[in-house]
Amino acid sequence: MRPSFLFGLTVVVLLGVSVPACQAGLALNRLMNKAVDAIVYMVGQQDAGVSLLGHPCLVESAKQPEGIYTAVMSCASWTPRFVGEGTSEVELEALKGSIRSFIRKASDYQLLSKEDLEDWLASY
């Protein structure tokens, strides 16, 4: 076989493998803002607690001496291996960043799918 044919075949195979994962990522990203808004709303409610897919979570922020806010989202009983982290000069943006980071990591670890997030948002 000619090298150009093999190269073309390799590109087609790689694209065929990566497109479904990419499309799933795009679908998850479309739901991201709704999920972030729902969790931010929970954070703002007194004594309500934060829950994602039925798992208790903690979302907290702290102002650093430099004036930068750092935020962390964790669901220790569900995902002890990782946390979501965010930083910003604006506390709300740091919180949103930590939530986005957490959702992406949960998706990467295959603990959360687009369908899971859709169902959770529908029940919220």
Each domain of the chain, given as residue ranges in start order, spans 3-123
Q: Pick 67 or 19 by higher pLDDT.
A: 67
Q: Which residues contact 114 (CB under 8 A, 6 or more apart)?
A: 24, 27, 28, 31
* CATH code for the domain defined by 3-123: 3.30.160.320
Q: What pLDDT does 25 receive?
A: 61
d(CA 117, CA 75): 16
For 28-75, how does the pLDDT look when each residue is reduced to its tens digit (9 = 90+)?
A: 778 899 999 999 999 988 777 899 999 999 999 999 999 999 999 999
Return the pLDDT at 37. 93
What's the Cα-to-Cα distance from 27 to each of 9, 31, 103, 115, rounded to whole Å?
28, 7, 13, 10
Q: Residue length, the chain?
A: 124
**What distance in Å separates the CA atoms of residue 49 and residue 41, rounded to the nearest whole number?**
10
Higher pLDDT, 124 or 85: 85
